[in-house]
Amino acid sequence: MATRPGESFNRRKYARLKIEAHATLYLDKNIKKGLKLQDISPRGVGGLIDCPLKVGDKVGILLLYPFFDEPVKKEASVVRCREINQNTWDVGLDFGEGSKLDLTSYFKLK
């Protein structure tokens, strides 16, 4: 799809919800890292972390309240990792098309 000068093309299939929450990333069996969530959608999350991640790597993520009554653990692919300042990276994680989160109750959609 072509765009005109000054226009941008939004490739996202799902709306993002801006949030301030925390999650836990499992980088391997023995390494856990905190992730400060900035946005969430049925397809993935974006947030800030204190170490770089490699685009394409698989990580585990544990999501808690306010989105779910019970903890939800998902596998995700790292799709973005940019250093934004010393010791802070902006990361994007994709759950994959077949592993979307059901945020219906949170978004109040029926």
Summarize the confidence of residues 63-86 as an average pLDDT: 87
Q: Is residue 12 part of a domain?
A: no
CATH code (residue 22): 2.40.10.220
Q: What tens digit of pLDDT does each residue of 1-40 get?
A: 444 454 444 455 677 778 888 999 999 888 999 999 999 8
Q: Is residue 68 part of a domain?
A: yes
Q: Is residue 9 part of a domain?
A: no
Residue 98 φ/ψ, nearest 5 degrees: -85, 5
The span from the CA of 76 to the CA of 70, in Å, is 19
Q: Is residue 93 part of a domain?
A: yes
- Tally the domains of the chain: 1
Strand 88-94 with 31-41, pairing: unpaired
Residues contacting 1, CB < 8 A, separation 6+:
9
Task: Please count the residues of the chain.
Answer: 110
For 52, the domain range is 17-107
pTM: 0.80
Q: Determine what percent of the chain is predicted with pLDDT higher than 90.
A: 51
The span from the CA of 80 to the CA of 89, in Å, is 9
